[in-house]
Amino acid sequence: MRAIHLGQSWPLGSSTTAKGVNFALAAPMATRVELLLFAHGEAPEPEQVVELHPRHRSGDIWHVEVEGVGIGCCYAYRVFGPLQPGRHGFNPSKLLLDPCARAIAGWNVYRRVDAIGAVPNTASCLKGVVTERDRFDFGAAPRPRHSWQRTVIYELHVGGFSRGAGSPISPERQGTYLGLIEAIPHLQQLGITTVELLPVMAFDPHDAPPGRLNYWGYSPISWMAPHHAYQQGDDPLQIRQQVRELVSACHRAGLEVLVDVVYNHTCEGNQAGPTLSWRGIDDRLYYHQNAKGDYLDVSGCGNSIAANRPLVRRLILESMRCWALELGVDGFRFDLGIALSRGEELAPLDHPPLFEEIEADPELADLKLVSEPWDCGGLYRLADFPARRVGAWNGRYRDDVRRFWKGDDKSCWTMGQRIAGSPDLFGGQPAVLGRSITFLTAHDGFTLADLVSYDRKHNLANGEDNRDGDNHNNSWNHGAEGPSSDPAVEALRNRQLRNLLTTLLISPGVPMLLMGDEVRRSQGGNNNAWCQDNPLGWMHWQPDEGDRALQLFVRRLIHLRHHLTDLLNPELPHGEAKSPRFDQSGHLLRQWHGLKLGQPDWANWSHTLAWSLNDRQRGPLLWCGMNAFHQELCFELPRCPEGWLQVIHTGQPAGADLPEQPTAISGGSAPLPSRSLLLLVAEPLMRGHQL
C-alpha cells in the first residue's frame, strides 16, 4: 500500500508533489471522505481506498498526500454526511468526480442514471485524472488583444465547424480541437478577430431524452476539464495540450479565443437527477434550494448554482484561471450570466460578489468578458448589467433589426435607436465600447438563411413534437416556406441577407456572426438544434454560386468595417439634431433623414430610414439609406463637398452590391429599390483602399 501523509489544503484538486500527489477537496458539511485510486479510467473497482480522518481536514478543505502516484493517476471520492431519509444530498453509494480535476477518464463505462437511490456506480463512474498544471506559453503565442472597437466575433461549435460534406479538414481531425486549426484560414479570410466557442468544458452528452444526445454542451459535468469528444485520440493526458495547440494556432493567426461557460447550472438536474459530483459533495452549498430542500431553478435545467457563496465563487474563479492561464483562452461568454448575480432566495444583487472578485483579479484583468443579460427566471439586465467590465448580448438589437427589415409597423424608431448604439437602453447615450454585443443570429434560434426562409420553426427532428424552441422569431419566408426555386423569392431573400448583415456591421457595438451565416448555412428551419450532431448542426462546406457570392460580400463588409472603424466608434459622440450643430471639435453629428433631407419619418407605418455622419469641417462623411418598403422610393442625398462613393447597394446584382472598387455617384437623389440599402462614403475616406 502507498504511504499516506496529511497533505495540504491548497491548491484544490490534484497536484503533483516531490513525493507523489496532493489531493484537496472542499466539502464543508462532510463528516467523512474517502479517496479511491484506480488502475485506469475503466477499472470497475479501486485498487486502493484512502480514508481521510478529521486530521486531514483544514477548515472546509479535506486533503491528503499519497506517495508513489503521479500524473495519469485516476481517482474519485466518496463523501459521507448527515443523511435524511427520502432527501437528496450525501449519498455514499455514489463515487464522485473531483470538481477541480483537469482531465476525466472513464467515458467508455460511464452511465447516466437519473435517480438518487443507493445503487452503487463504482463500475460506471467518471474518474478525475492527475495532470500537469503548467501555464500557457504566452511568450510563444501572445494574446492578440484586439480592442473592443476592432472586435468582430464569430460563434462556432468545435465539434461541428470542421465537419460536413466537403469539409477540407483531414478526416481523422474532423470534429476535434486540432481539426479547428485547419479551418483557421476560412476565419482569417473573412476578417473576423475573435472566435467564440460553444461549451468546450466537459459536459454530459447523455443529458438528453432517450434516443438523443446533447450536442451543444450546455450541460456541464466539469468546469475544469476539456470535453473529451473533441479530442483526437483517447489519452486523457493529451487533451489539454490539444486545446493549447488550438489556442496557440489562433493566436499566431491573430484570432482571440473566447469560450462559452456554463456556470449557472450543472448536468445533475433537479433533486431527482443523478449524483455525479457537486450534489454528492455538498448540494446545500452549490445549489439554490428552498427550506424544504427543493432545487430553485432559473436556468431551465433543473438547478441553479449559488454563485454568491464564497466556496462556489472560489471554484468558478479557479475554473477561469485554469482556462485563461493554463490553456490560454482570451475571455469568456457567460451563459445566462445574470443568474450568477442572484443571492440567497434568488434575490438579484446590485453588487454580486462573483463579478466583483472577477474584476478585482489581476490575473483575469486582460480578458474579454461577455454575458447573456437574462435568465429563465425573468431577470433581464442589459444596460445595468451589474459588472462594469462585462459586455452583454443585446437581444433588443436582434429583435428590432429583424422587425424593421421584415417590414413590421412601429419598427422605424426602434431601428434608429439600434443603429445609433441603443441610447434608449443605455441612459440616453450610446453603449460604451464593449458593453453591447450586437447580433442577428446565434446558436439558439434560426440561422440567418433560415430567418429569411421560414415563417415558423420546424423542430420535429428533435423528438418533442415541435414544442421546443422559441415561437417568437421575427422571421419571414418571403413567399415560400423553406427552399424555393422561384427566382423572385430567392432574389429577395438574398437581398435581405445583405441588408441584415450590412446593418449589423455598420452599427456601433461589438458585432457577432453565427457559424455558417456567411455561406447561407441552413438547419432546415430547426431553431433549436441542441441535439442535432449531424449535417443540420454542422458547417456548410459545399457552397454553391450564391453561397460564395454572399461569402465574398461578408468578407468585404468586415474589411470595410475595419477600415471605417473610427466612424463607428460609439465613444465618439454622435449628436442628435435637426440641423448640424457640434459641441466639441472633432465630434461627429448623426443626422436623421427620410426621403427628404432632415425629415425622418418616425411614424408607426414608416418603413424608411436614412442617416448621415457629418464632420464639423468637412461636412457629410457617410450616408446610409434603408428602404424596407415594398416599393421603390427615391431618397434625397446630402451634398458631399469631397464627393460620394457608392460603397454598398444591396439592390445591385451579386458582386456589384459591394464591389472591390467603389464607384463615384453624383446628383441630389438616389432611387432605392424595395427592401434595399445604400451606403455612400466620402471619397477621401476610401482613397487607395480596395475591399
Residue 141 falls inside a structural domain: no
Residue 143 falls inside a structural domain: no
Q: 79, 96, 129: which is the final residue of a domain? A: 129
Helix (H) and strand (E) counts in the chain: 13, 27
Question: What pLDDT is stored for residue 586 in this prediction?
Answer: 53
If asked whether residues 177 and 218 sit together in one domain, one would say: yes
Question: What pLDDT is stored for residue 85 in this prediction?
Answer: 53
Question: What pLDDT is stored for residue 84 in this prediction?
Answer: 64
What is the length of the chain? 691
Please give the residue range of the domain that contains residue 470. 153-563
Which backbone phi and psi does 105 adopt, to 5 degrees? -125, 165
Over residues 349-368, the mean pLDDT reads 97
If asked whether residues 556 and 613 sit together in one domain, one would say: no
- Give the dihedral of Cα atoms 171, 177, 181, 185; nearest 10 deg: 90
Residue 145 falls inside a structural domain: no
Question: What pLDDT is stored for residue 585 in this prediction?
Answer: 46
If asked whether residues 549 and 419 sit together in one domain, one would say: yes
**Cα 256 to Cα 184: distance, rounded to the nearest angstrom:** 12
pLDDT bracket for residue 429 (50, 70, 90): confident
Taking residue 521's Cβ as centre, other Cβ atoms within 10 Å add up to 22
Report the CATH number at residue 15: 2.60.40.10
If asked whether residues 203 and 254 sit together in one domain, one would say: yes
- Mean pLDDT estimate for the chain: 94
Over residues 121-139, the mean pLDDT reads 97
Q: Do 660 and 598 contact (CB within 8 A), yes or no?
A: no
Give the pairing of strands 608-615 and 32-38: unpaired
pLDDT tens string 668-691: 999 999 999 999 999 999 987 887
Over residues 376-398, the mean pLDDT reads 96
Residue 26's identity, in one-letter code, is: A
**Cα 427 to Cα 412: distance, rounded to the nearest angstrom:** 20
Q: Is 283 a catalytic residue?
A: no
pLDDT bracket for residue 579 (50, 70, 90): very low
Residue owning grid cell 423569392:
489
- Inform me whether the pLDDT recorded for 592 exceeds 90: yes
Question: What pLDDT is stored for residue 517 in this prediction?
Answer: 98
Find the radius of gyration of the CA atoms of the chain. Answer: 27
Closest CA to 405 of 181, 71, 61, 675: 675
Question: CA dist 429 to 127, 420, 573, Å?
Answer: 51, 9, 8
Residue 136 falls inside a structural domain: no
Question: What pLDDT is stored for residue 115 in this prediction?
Answer: 62
Question: What pLDDT is stored for residue 662 in this prediction?
Answer: 95
If asked whether residues 252 and 400 sit together in one domain, one would say: yes
**Cα 532 to Cα 534: distance, rounded to the nearest angstrom:** 5
- Inform me whether the pLDDT recorded for 323 exceeds 50: yes
pLDDT tens string 615-629: 888 899 999 999 999
Residue of 268, 372, 375, 408 marked active site = 372
Report the CATH number at residue 527: 3.20.20.80
Residue 144 falls inside a structural domain: no
DSSP assignment of 208-245: SSTT----S--SBS-SSSBPGGGSSSS-TTTHHHHHHH
Report the CATH number at residue 668: 2.60.40.1180
Joined grid coordinates for residue 667: 446628383
Question: What pLDDT is stored for residue 300 in this prediction?
Answer: 95
Joined grid coordinates for residue 126: 467518471
Question: What pLDDT is stored for residue 581 in this prediction?
Answer: 40
- Inform me whether the pLDDT recorded for 649 exceeds 80: yes
- Inform me whether the pLDDT recorded for 431 exceeds 50: yes
If asked whether residues 526 and 451 sit together in one domain, one would say: yes
pLDDT tens string 58-99: 999 999 999 999 999 999 999 999 876 556 678 999 999 999
Residue 665 falls inside a structural domain: yes
Q: Is 335 a catalytic residue?
A: yes
If asked whether residues 266 and 290 sit together in one domain, one would say: yes
Q: Would you call the peptide bond into 373 cis, given omega within 30 degrees of 0 as the criterion?
A: no
If asked whether residues 667 and 552 sit together in one domain, one would say: no
Over residues 134-161, the mean pLDDT reads 97
pLDDT bracket for residue 541 (50, 70, 90): very high
- Inform me whether the pLDDT recorded for 578 exceeds 70: no
Over residues 272-293, the mean pLDDT reads 93
Residue 200 falls inside a structural domain: yes
**Cα 642 to Cα 661: distance, rounded to the nearest angstrom:** 17
Domain count, the chain: 3
Question: What pLDDT is stored for residue 369 in this prediction?
Answer: 98
Q: Do 218 and 472 contact (CB within 8 A), yes or no?
A: no
Question: Which residue did the predictor score with more confidence, 119 or 624?
Answer: 624
pLDDT bracket for residue 571 (50, 70, 90): low
- Inform me whether the pLDDT recorded for 572 exceeds 80: no
Question: What pLDDT is stored for residue 329 in this prediction?
Answer: 98
Over residues 437-447, the mean pLDDT reads 98
Give the pairing of strands 194-197 and 61-67: unpaired
- Inform me whether the pLDDT recorded for 582 exceeds 70: no
The 3-state DSSP class for residue 396 equals: helix
pLDDT bracket for residue 575 (50, 70, 90): low
Residue 266 falls inside a structural domain: yes
pLDDT tens string 160-210: 999 999 999 999 999 999 999 999 999 999 999 999 999 999 999 999 988
Over residues 256-269, the mean pLDDT reads 97
Residue 522's identity, in one-letter code, is: S
Residue owning grid cell 480522518:
53
Residue of 335, 450, 533, 615 marked active site = 335
Q: 68, 94, 129: which is the final residue of a domain? A: 129
If asked whether residues 511 and 620 sit together in one domain, one would say: no
Question: What pLDDT is stored for residue 495 in this prediction?
Answer: 98
If asked whether residues 459 and 369 sit together in one domain, one would say: yes
Question: What pLDDT is stored for residue 689 in this prediction?
Answer: 81
- Inform me whether the pLDDT recorded for 252 exceeds 80: yes
- Inform me whether the pLDDT recorded for 211 exceeds 90: no
Report the percent of the chain where pLDDT is more than 90.
90
**Cα 194 to Cα 500: distance, rounded to the nearest angstrom:** 21
Q: 499, 528, 563: which is the final residue of a domain? A: 563
Question: CA dist 355 to 41, 152, 364, Å?
Answer: 36, 24, 11
Give the pairing of strands 588-593 and 574-577: parallel
If asked whether residues 100 and 177 sit together in one domain, one would say: no
Taking residue 249's Cβ as centre, other Cβ atoms within 10 Å add up to 18
If asked whether residues 120 and 251 sit together in one domain, one would say: no
Report the percent of the chain where pLDDT is more than 70.
96
- Specify the range with the lowest mean pLDDT, choosing from 40-49, 207-216, 223-232: 207-216
